Amino acid sequence: MAKSPTSDAEFIELWEKYQSPVKMSKILGISERNIMARRRSLEAKTGKQLDTKSAKFQRKLSHISSMHQSAARHHLGIENGVVLVFSDAHFWPGIRTTAFKGLMWAIKALKPKAIINNGDAFDGAAISRHPRIGWDSKPSVIEELKACEMALGEIEDSVAKGTKLVWALGNHDARFENRLANTVPEFMHVGGFKLSDHFPAWIPCWSCWPTEEVVIKHRMKGGVHATHNNAVTSGKSIVTGHLHSLKVTPFSDYNGERFGVDTGTLADVGGPQFVDYLEDNPVSWRSGFAVLTFYKGRLLWPELVHAMAPGLIQFRGQVVDVSEL
């Protein structure tokens, strides 16, 4: 190994500045191989880890992933305040829907304590198990990730400090990790291979519990009576997405009153995410989201925000123009 003209302290200082054997080689006039050999020697000698930029980034992603492992349940412990729940955004490059603008309006007007992304923010059109329909054009995975980053980043920037951001994962969200797990299983635990690695501000889970009597999750029962059946089966007030129907169903028994809520879709019902596989058939879908208000730990009657026309939402009997948001 050629002797470096720099001292150990100088080498470490340069390494911490550039974190690149290529740049170090050019600066010191030593081969990259010898740079890496001296780096290893100094790590053993000093006990100090000299990271490359890529290794540092991967360890950061692993740290984020370990902090935000997809736990089965996430408890919020809401006593009083508002929780906004949206689902099935299927964020698409270049599209900012009326329902999304309505969500931005509601964040400012209602100052929620938590915002729950109740699944399927990521569509995964290019990695679906379903075959391509004709010559339809789908965005790439990276294009979809960028669309999600832009939309969720806008939400992150608009909320007050301390507002909880939770992502109850949906079946479309799962496409990201399922495709990787089945195609390149050798990359398990590598940073960036979990969807949550790319959205560290959002706490991932399968279900979110604002209180012990209310559960928010992407899906449970299916069919036109899903909200009723969910409330009966779960024994709790339950807020789901997946079916895009946007409705509230009350249910009462000897245990009292509870609700089944469907949060609709944050996407446009006629959006490009759906147009081909729907084959121009009518669907009982609605674009919007849910507003949950808690008073002394009790869920009040759930409310819905409905995107009634381009640029217009309706809420509490009022029509709000959100076209400029």
| 110 and 194 housed in the same domain | yes
Secondary structure, 3-state, the chain: CCCCCCCHHHHHHHHHHHCCHHHHHHHHCCCHHHHHHHHHHHHHHHCCCCCCHHHHHHHHHHHHHHHCCCEEEEECCCCCEEEEEECCCCCCCCCCCHHHHHHHHHHHHHCCCEEEECCCCCCCHHHCCCCCCCCCCCCCHHHHHHHHHHHHHHHHHHCCCCCEEEEECCCCCHHHHHHHHHHCHHHCCCCCCCHHHHCCCCEEEEEEEEECCEEEECCCCCCCCHHHHHHHHHCCEEEECCCCCCEEEEEEECCEEEEEEECCECCCCCCCCCHHHHCCCCCCCCEEEEEEEEECCEECCCEEEEEEECCEEEECCEEEECCCC
Q: Is the dihedral of CA 167, 168, 169, 171 positive or negative?
A: negative
* Residue 167 structure tokens: 């992502």
Distance between CA atoms of residues 306 and 283, nearest Å? 16
Q: Tens digits of per-residue pLDDT, 13-58?
A: 888 888 777 778 888 888 877 887 888 788 778 877 776 655 554 4
| 110 and 27 housed in the same domain | no
What is the average per-residue pLDDT within 211-237?
96
Q: Tens digits of per-residue pLDDT, 65-114?
A: 444 445 789 999 999 999 999 999 999 999 999 999 999 999 999 999 99
pLDDT above 50: residue 63? no
Distance between CA atoms of residues 264 and 289, nearest Å? 6
Distance between CA atoms of residues 172 and 169, nearest Å? 8
pLDDT above 70: residue 1? no
Residue 2 lies in a domain: no
Residue 56 lies in a domain: no
| 79 and 42 housed in the same domain | no
Mean pLDDT of the chain: 86
| 194 and 313 housed in the same domain | yes
Look up tokens 């869920």; give the residue: 299
Q: What is the pLDDT of residue 232?
A: 97
Residue 55 lies in a domain: no
The percent of residues in the chain predicted with pLDDT above 90, rounded, is 55
| 43 and 94 housed in the same domain | no
Lowest-pLDDT range of 129-138, 141-150, 189-198: 129-138
pLDDT above 70: residue 133? no
Number of domains the chain is built from:
2
| 176 and 133 housed in the same domain | yes
Q: What is the pLDDT of residue 60?
A: 46
Residues β-bridged to residue 204: 167
| 210 and 301 housed in the same domain | yes
| 21 and 167 housed in the same domain | no
Contact 191, 214 (CB under 8 A): no
Supply φ then ψ for residue 112, to 5 degrees: -65, 155
pLDDT above 70: residue 132? no
What is the average per-residue pLDDT within 262-267?
97
Q: What is the pLDDT of residue 260?
A: 98
Q: What is the pLDDT of residue 128?
A: 57
Containing domain of residue 34, as a range? 8-50
| 260 and 282 housed in the same domain | yes
| 24 and 136 housed in the same domain | no
Residue 39 lies in a domain: yes
Q: What CATH number does residue 69 fall under?
A: 3.60.21.10
Distance between CA atoms of residues 108 and 121, nearest Å? 21
| 38 and 88 housed in the same domain | no
- Name the pTM for this structure: 0.76
Q: Tens digits of per-residue pLDDT, 281-294?
A: 999 999 999 999 99
Look up tokens 């469907």; give the residue: 262
| 29 and 92 housed in the same domain | no
Residue 315 lies in a domain: yes
